């Protein structure tokens, strides 16, 4: 069974701050995607197909309602109080075959390689050849005699050839390539591309390779008949040895060797073969769900009617709520037909087939005093259809609410999750969402631009962009294997600090201070205020400080940048900034600049009265704005990430944009003295561009803000957050490890663990820390609060009174801990300084080893590098004196830290 998902075009709203738009509730921060699974269609050579269905779970039957179509007709004659249609693009995965066949041609000495596929699509063979005397795995364009009709040159190393049907009735798409052994070609390399979806298909994560000689290196991606050793090889080697032993002239020996090489080429071991490889493709289908509500004052009832054209059995798993808390209740009878009770928590109603129409529907009679109707759609035992990662909520008390405000919306199938809390989500479901976005970008750029361009230069420019996206698609799509690699560190590593572990982690012993809050701009002289505290910050043990955005900005906080080279901001002048950086360097602190690269505010309007023309030193026009930004009419390519709706989203695929940004970052490094970067809203553009920028500016330390919502079921955080941390790790991988990322996963899990006294959440299924630091600690920048989540914004504030437990966790664990300014200069200062002292004294670093000793309801305890033991929570815990003796270093409310004696 394959997974599919739907991604909403969500309209964001915000009351206090425009630059980074996030809802207030923590579980709604960038909500997960609406998702469900579909059936798998298996296609065979005869065109047959089948689908497997699992029976629904049995539940207790209850009394049916007597409501019928006549009641519905009566209500439809009155005014509707609520109506919304959710339009869905559902995908089903079809399974088929790619086949490869090498046959001898009609002419003696020629061969024909056939490559085909039995799935419908616009298939393109992207291929090249390798020559006999070439080293490595580089491609070359095949000779003209091998190029089938319709082939297009791709720069200087490959060509693309469309696959075609031999007839309208044929279910196979194929292309035939003439192979001439005397052309001295060692092998044919290729990948298969579906232009409809933008998908690229490889063999075991590598390019397919068909060998044409017997000594071609096999990298595990070879397609050919199974053969023994070449019968000519031993004979040729013997002859060569005899010739080399002869006492003849060098020229004669050289001539003989050349003749033997030619003979070896002529005796190439080509022979017929046929091989198949499995292939899957997602085929899109449009569906919709419509919910309508009518009121009946006479009967003191609400009538809710639901209809959908989703195929198969659709079960509505539902309940009602009486207030804004949206707590599920089972209402009083009557209920619709085919309704059962599920574990005394919810009702399940099988929607009934619509007479004479496709799809199914259901009618629900609900009491007037109820506030809302809550539901999810259950398509099979492990697959649920949710709204923005949460339950559907239909308001009954009035016509307001988010649903009615948004009206109709389009959902695109791209990512998956399940609602079963007992079932672990497959990494396949989450990597598919990323790869599908890249597929769509590749296919849309190719189809849209190729029709509009006439010149060779323009076409080559487009192809270059497609290749960049294809390279990322290769990385993410290969076998849908999770891209993270859990770090293993020997106990002997990092006994002494060593500078330059890698660009993102600095020395590996960094402790980061966020040097501002949401209100810091109000003083107008923040740089000078911070300069006076530089020595104090250094004395506490901080090694890196993150400063606010330095550029001129539409918003005073700096997150709506305008002229990137104008560094006179609400925090102070460029001269004050340089003076601050110089002072921080003098006390041994590295400095990070807050670089807002995703968006930029324009200086001028275009002819359509839209702000998308830029001024200042970087006087870009609307080509620098992505084409799919709905508000700013850009003429660039489609965005490679999520759009930020308050300002023009910059198109990083444009060469001039990237060159200007790299030049600006290097200028900041030299002119101001920044040592690295905090990168804002990196979900907005592909991580590969971040790699380009980091390679150019060479930061000592870099961290990206990849903010994503954790997984929730029925309003409660799931224990398994692997999919969430995988998405953060995927971004780090896309940036090629040139920048780490804030460990939002760890922050979210700490919220639930500490607030609900559920410390068992701090251990994943393998007994490791459940955040990014459990999989890739050196890439994780851990934190509990920042200017968005805390300060005066408070969008996702850490549980009150539990802050020091959070710091006891992140300051004793691996990763790079970050401490918020408001906590440093508060009554927590002495406790934070004590924890930092323990960390530095015991040389805890970003790759330290963690062994979780206890993770129970009211206590969590761990040992780090066999040097430090810590515990948080109200429960009791004392470390064993074997094999080490421990001395209590810190004891405060609900947390303790011990060191080796």
Residue 242's Cβ-count burial label (10 Å; 0-12, 13-18, 19+) is exposed
d(CA 370, CA 460): 61
Report residue 730 as tokens. Answer: 């995927």
Instruction: Considering the candidates 309, 391, 629, 680, report the single residue annotated as catalytic.
Output: 680
Report residue 333 as tokens. Answer: 């009878």
Instruction: Give CA separation, 122 vs 195, 439, 446, 450, 529, in Å.
Output: 5, 13, 12, 15, 62
Instruction: Give CA separation, 203 vs 2, 22, 159, in Å.
Output: 20, 41, 19
Side-chain half-sphere exposure of 235, counting CA atoms within 13 A:
8
DSSP 785: -
d(CA 860, CA 760): 7
Give the residue from 778, 792, 812 showing the smallest Cα distance to 702: 778
Could you confirm whether 576 is annotated as catalytic? Answer: no
DSSP 450: H
Give the residue from 399, 323, 316 showing the smallest Cα distance to 351: 316
Q: What is the DSSP string of 12-70?
A: P--SS-SSS---SSGGGSSPPPPEEEEPEEE--TT-------PPPPP-EE-PBP---HH
d(CA 788, CA 784): 11
d(CA 321, CA 200): 47
**Helix or strand (DSSP H, E) at 835:** helix 829-841
CB 809 within 8 A of CB 793: no
Report residue 620 as tokens. Answer: 């870009």
Q: At CA 774, angle to CA 768 and CA 780, rounded to 5?
A: 160
d(CA 117, CA 123): 8
Give the residue from 336, 341, 347, 340 showing the smallest Cα distance to 305: 336
Query: Other C-beta atoms within 10 Å of 153: how many?
Result: 15
User: Percentage helix, strand, coil, to 5, in the chain?
Assistant: 25, 30, 45
Residues facing residue 866 across a β-bridge:
none
d(CA 710, CA 653): 29
Backbone angles phi, psi at 160, to 5 degrees: -125, 130
Q: What is the DSSP string of 213-282?
A: STT----S-B-S------HHHHHHHHHHHHHHHS---HHHHHHHHHHHHHHHHHT-----EEEEEEEEEE
Report residue 95 as tokens. Answer: 């399974």
Report residue 59 as tokens. Answer: 């539940």
Residue 891's Cβ-count burial label (10 Å; 0-12, 13-18, 19+) is exposed
- Helices and strands (H and E) in the chain: how many: 17, 42
Report residue 80 as tokens. Answer: 């509707």
Q: What is the DSSP string of 509-531?
A: T--EEE---TTGGGGS-HHHHHH
**Helix or strand (DSSP H, E) at 831:** helix 829-841
Residue 749's Cβ-count burial label (10 Å; 0-12, 13-18, 19+) is buried
Instruction: Considering the candidates 207, 309, 412, 705, report the single residue annotated as catalytic.
Output: 705
Q: At CA 310, angle to CA 308 and CA 311, rounded to 5?
A: 135
Cis previous bond, 334, omega within 30: yes
Could you confirm whether 705 is annotated as catalytic? Answer: yes
- Residues recognised as catalytic: 680, 705
């Amino acid at each position: 069974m394959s997974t599919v998902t739907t991604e909403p075009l969500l309209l964001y709203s915000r009351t206090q701050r425009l630059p980074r738009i996030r809802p207030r509730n923590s579980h709604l921060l960038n909500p997960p995607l609406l998702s469900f699974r579909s059936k798998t269609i298996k296609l065979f050579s005869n065109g047959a197909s089948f689908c497997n269905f699992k029976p629904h779970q049995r539940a207790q039957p209850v009394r049916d309602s007597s409501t019928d179509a006549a009641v519905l007709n009566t209500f439809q004659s009155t005014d509707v109080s609520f109506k919304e249609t959710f339009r869905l693009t559902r995908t089903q995965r079809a399974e088929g075959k790619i086949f490869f066949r090498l046959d001898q041609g009609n002419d003696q000495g020629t061969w024909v390689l056939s490559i085909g596929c039995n799935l419908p699509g616009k298939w393109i063979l992207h291929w090249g050849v390798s020559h006999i005397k070439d080293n490595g795995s580089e491609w070359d364009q095949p000779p003209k005699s091998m190029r089938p009709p319709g082939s297009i040159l791709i720069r200087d190393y490959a060509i693309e050839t469309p696959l075609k049907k031999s007839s309208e009735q044929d279910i196979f798409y194929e292309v035939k390539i003439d192979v001439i052994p005397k052309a001295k070609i060692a092998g044919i390399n290729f990948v298969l591309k579906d232009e409809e979806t933008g998908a690229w298909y490889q063999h075991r994560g590598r390019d397919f390779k068909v060998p044409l000689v017997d000594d071609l290196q096999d990298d595990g991606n070879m397609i050919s008949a199974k053969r023994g050793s070449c019968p000519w090889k031993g004979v040729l080697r013997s002859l060569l040895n005899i010739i080399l032993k002869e006492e003849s002239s060098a020229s004669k020996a050289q001539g003989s060797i050349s003749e033997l090489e030619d003979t070896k080429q002529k005796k190439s071991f080509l022979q017929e073969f046929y091989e198949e490889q499995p292939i899957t493709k997602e085929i899109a289908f449009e569906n919709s769900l419509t919910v309508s509500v009518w009121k009946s004052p006479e009967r003191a009832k609400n009538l809710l009617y639901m209809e959908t054209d989703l195929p198969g059995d659709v079960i509505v798993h539902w309940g009602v709520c009486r207030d804004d808390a949206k707590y599920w209740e089972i209402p009083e009878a009557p209920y619709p037909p085919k309704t059962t009770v599920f574990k005394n928590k919810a009702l399940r109603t099988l929607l009934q087939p619509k007479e004479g129409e496709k799809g199914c529907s259901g009618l629900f009679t609900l009491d007037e005093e109820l506030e809302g109707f809550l539901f999810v759609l259950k398509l099979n035992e492990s697959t649920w259809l949710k709204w923005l990662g949460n339950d559907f909520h239909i308001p009954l008390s009035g016509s307001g609410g988010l649903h009615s405000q948004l009206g109709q919306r389009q959902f695109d199938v791209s990512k998956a999750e399940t609602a079963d809390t007992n079932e672990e989500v497959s990494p396949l479901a989450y990597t598919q969402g990323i790869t599908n976005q890249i597929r769509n970008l590749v296919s849309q750029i190719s189809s849209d631009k190729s029709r509009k361009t006439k010149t060779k230069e323009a076409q080559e420019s487009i192809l270059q962009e497609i290749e960049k996206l294809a390279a990322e698609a290769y990385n993410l799509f290969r076998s849908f294997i999770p891209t993270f690699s859990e770090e293993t560190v020997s106990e002997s590593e990092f006994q002494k600090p060593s500078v330059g572990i890698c660009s993102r982690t600095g020395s590996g012993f960094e402790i980061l201070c966020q040097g501002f809050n949401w209100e810091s701009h109000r003083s107008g002289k923040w740089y000078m205020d911070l300069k006076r505290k530089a020595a104090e910050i250094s004395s506490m043990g901080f090694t890196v400080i993150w400063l606010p955005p330095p550029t001129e900005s539409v918003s005073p906080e700096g997150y709506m940048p305008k002229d990137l080279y104008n560094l006179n901001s609400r925090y102070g002048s460029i001269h004050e900034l340089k003076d601050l950086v110089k002072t921080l360097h003098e006390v041994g602190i590295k400095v990070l600049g807050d670089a807002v690269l995703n968006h930029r505010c324009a200086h001028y309007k275009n002819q359509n009265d839209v702000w998308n023309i830029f001024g200042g030193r970087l006087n870009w026009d609307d080509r620098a704005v992505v084409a799919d930004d709905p508000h700013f009419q850009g003429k660039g390519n489609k965005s490679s990430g999520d759009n930020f709706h308050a300002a023009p989203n910059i198109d990083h695929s444009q060469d001039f944009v990237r060159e200007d940004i790299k030049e600006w970052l290097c200028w900041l490094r030299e002119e101001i003295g920044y040592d690295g970067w905090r990168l804002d809203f990196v979900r907005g553009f592909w991580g590969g561009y971040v790699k380009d920028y980091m390679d150019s500016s060479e930061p000592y330390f870099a961290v990206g803000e990849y903010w994503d919502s954790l997984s929730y079921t029925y309003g409660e955080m799931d224990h398994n957050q692997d999919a969430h941390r995988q998405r953060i790790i995927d971004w780090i991988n896309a940036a090629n490890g040139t920048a780490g990322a804030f460990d939002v996963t760890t922050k979210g899990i700490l919220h639930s663990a500490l607030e609900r006294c559920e410390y068992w959440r701090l251990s994943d299924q393998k007994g490791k820390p459940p955040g990014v630091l459990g999989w890739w600690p050196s890439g994780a920048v851990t934190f509990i609060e920042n200017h968005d989540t805390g300060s005066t914004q408070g969008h996702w504030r850490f549980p009150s009174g539990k802050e020091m437990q959070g710091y006891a966790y992140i300051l004793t664990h691996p990763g790079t801990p970050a401490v918020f300014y408001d906590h440093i200069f508060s009554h927590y200062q002495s406790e934070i300084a004590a924890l930092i002292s323990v960390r530095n004294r015991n040389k805890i670093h970003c790759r330290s080893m963690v062994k979780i000793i206890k993770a129970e309801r009211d206590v969590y305890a761990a040992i780090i590098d066999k040097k430090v033991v810590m515990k948080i929570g109200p429960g009791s815990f004392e470390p064993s004196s074997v094999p080490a003796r421990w001395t209590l270093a810190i004891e405060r409310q609900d947390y303790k830290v011990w060191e080796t004696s």
